[in-house]
């Protein structure tokens, strides 16, 4: 029985509520006392305390043994086939920006070379590589092959334990691209349907079919990918709780190693956040029912939550949660949520996060593609701060 009412996460408004739990656990505070603090002092619902506590324990186990010189590497590819209505990421429809793809890749390679020198000079050890965006597989197979080869030529990737590329849009996935990724050492990819209802896909501007999702998934398995993530969004416009359950049940039937359940969030930078938007907003209780079902269904299928974050204007005061089968958790996701490891970010919109003990600082790259191309030398110069911070 719920012992407190109000908002599910009580007074917590930040992105990383689980950090409150890991901090207290790390200080040796007992679990019963943490639960009392979260319930009585912060007003969290019991079910949120349960999930945050479970994730905190999982994250602490995954973080154990991390060395101060270990870092993660993020590479941003800010192109997509089309821009989704809910998207606020740094990305552009590739059709409109096609002439800038090669100049962007040239600038990116320049920053890769400079960042690799910094990493070598400071004796940093790359443990995780993550290509995000945008949709990296918007690039051609030849472009992917060339870019990943260039990365391996500059950075020492011999200690990498996790190499992820977001292939989120199934309409960008081909056999040649998957083979290029596999050949270059990528061992984790995302294939993200967001929903398994064609009408919703059309409504939010994804421009691919449900069949393309299942075809891309089957192709990735055929090529040999053994760790695949699939994203769903609870609270998409005009979807009911029953429709969300169908999408989740269908994705579970494919048996990916990771399933990430996002809660719909309305952001000003997204098309849905604009004044001209006429798509309906899903009621909070409906969204809560969707998220509640995801915990029940995924637990029954053997998945456990391992990272969690929240966003401003998230529907129903809910959360975004990554679920994984045992032993397939994404370490990069944990490190970026817990902020205990430096993340060196390259490319348009990249945010390098520098971590030294309890001190965290950020170095920003510009978000505009054309501006990044023209100012890449400045982005490289900004990274010179790593010498001062991490030396």
Partner residues linked to 307 by β-bridges: 322
What pLDDT is recorded for position 266?
A: 82
What secondary structure letter does DSSP report for 265? Answer: B
CA distance 318 to 19: 16
Do the Cβ atoms of 48 and 9 come closer than 8 Å? yes
The C-alpha angle 271, 334, 357, rounded to 5 degrees, equals: 115
| C-alpha torsion sign, points 195, 321, 350, 59 | negative
Residue 238 φ/ψ region, left for φ over 0, alpha for ψ in the -120 to 50 degree band, beta for the rest: left
CA distance 144 to 138: 9
pLDDT single digits (tens) 173-196: 999 999 999 999 999 999 999 999
Q: What is the DSSP secondary-structure string of 223-245?
A: HT---EEEEEEET-TT--HHHHH
What pLDDT is recorded for position 5?
A: 66
What pLDDT is recorded for position 1?
A: 35
| Strand positions, DSSP E, 203-303 | 228-234, 258-263
> How do strand 162-166 and strand 188-190 relate by DSSP bridges?
parallel
What pLDDT is recorded for position 331?
A: 97
Query: What structural domains does the chain harbor?
Result: 18-63 (no CATH), 70-343 (3.80.30.20)
The 70-77 sheet, strands edge to edge: 304-309, 320-324, 258-263, 228-234, 188-190, 162-166, 125-133, 70-77, 342-346, 351-356, 359-364
Helix (H) or strand (E) holding 184: none
99-135: buried (b, 16+ CB within 10 Å) or exposed (e) per residue? ebbeebbebbbbbbebbbebbeebebebbbbbbbbbb
Q: With a threshold of 0.85, does the pTM exceed it?
A: yes
- Other beta carbons less than 10 A from residue 1's beta carbon: 3
> How do strand 320-324 and strand 304-309 relate by DSSP bridges?
antiparallel
pLDDT less than 70: residues of the chain: 1-5, 84, 86-91, 267-278
What pLDDT is recorded for position 277?
A: 57
What pLDDT is recorded for position 6?
A: 86
pLDDT single digits (tens) 19-61: 999 999 999 999 999 999 999 999 999 999 999 999 999 999 9
CB neighbour class for 3 (10 Å; exposed up to 12, middle 13-18, buried from 19): exposed
What pLDDT is recorded for position 89?
A: 59
Do the Cβ atoms of 123 and 391 come closer than 8 Å? no
Q: Which residue has the tokens 């950090």?
A: 19
What pLDDT is recorded for position 138?
A: 96
CA distance 128 to 329: 13
What pLDDT is recorded for position 3?
A: 44
What pLDDT is recorded for position 260?
A: 98
What is each CA distance from 85 to 193, 205, 268, 277, in whole angstroms? 14, 6, 11, 9
Task: Supply the angle between the helices 284-300 and 241-254 in degrees, to the nearest 10.
Answer: 20
The C-alpha angle 14, 16, 21, rounded to 5 degrees, equals: 115
In 3D space, the residue among 129, 161, 173 whose CA is nearest the CA of residue 147 turns out to be 129
The C-alpha angle 169, 139, 381, rounded to 5 degrees, equals: 115
């Amino acid at each position: 029985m719920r012992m407190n009412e109000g908002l599910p996460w009580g007074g917590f408004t930040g992105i990383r509520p689980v950090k409150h739990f890991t901090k207290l656990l790390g200080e040796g505070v007992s679990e019963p006392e943490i639960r009392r603090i979260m319930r009585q002092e912060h007003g969290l619902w019991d079910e949120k305390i349960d999930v945050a506590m479970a994730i905190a324990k999982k994250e602490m186990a995954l973080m154990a043994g991390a060395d101060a010189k270990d870092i993660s590497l993020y590479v941003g590819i800010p192109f997509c086939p089309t821009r989704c209505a809910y998207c606020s990421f740094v990305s552009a429809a590739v059709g409109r920006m096609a002439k800038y793809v090669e100049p962007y890749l040239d600038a990116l390679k320049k920053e890769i070379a400079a960042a690799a020198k910094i990493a070598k000079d400071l004796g940093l050890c790359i443990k995780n590589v993550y290509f995000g965006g945008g949709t990296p597989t918007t690039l051609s197979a030849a472009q992917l092959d060339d870019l990943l080869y260039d990365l391996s030529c500059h950075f020492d990737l011999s200690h990498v334990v996790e190499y992820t590329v977001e292939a989120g849009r199934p309409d960008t996935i081909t056999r040649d691209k998957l083979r290029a990724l596999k050949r270059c050492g990528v061992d984790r990819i995302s294939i993200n349907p967001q929903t398994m209802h064609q009408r919703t896909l059309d409504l939010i501007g994804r421009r691919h079919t449900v069949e393309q999702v299942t075809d891309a998934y089957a192709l990735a398995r055929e090529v040999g990918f053994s760790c695949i993530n699939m994203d769903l969004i609870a609270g998409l416009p005009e979807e009911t709780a029953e429709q969300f359950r169908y999408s989740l049940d269908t994705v579970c039937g494919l048996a990916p190693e990771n399933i990430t359940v996002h809660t719909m969030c309305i952001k000003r930078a997204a098309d849905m956040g604009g004044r001209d938007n006429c798509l309906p907003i899903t009621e909070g209780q409906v969204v809560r029912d969707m998220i509640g079902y995801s915990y029940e269904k995924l637990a029954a299928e053997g998945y456990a939550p391992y990272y969690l974050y929240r966003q401003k204007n998230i529907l129903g005061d809910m959360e975004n949660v990554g679920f994984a089968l045992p032993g397939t958790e994404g370490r990069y996701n944990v490190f970026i949520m817990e902020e205990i490891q430096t993340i060196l970010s390259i490319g348009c919109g990249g945010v390098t996060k520098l971590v030294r003990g309890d001190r965290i600082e950020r170095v920003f790259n510009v978000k505009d593609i054309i501006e990044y191309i023209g100012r890449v030398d400045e982005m490289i110069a900004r990274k010179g701060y790593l010498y001062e911070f991490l030396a």
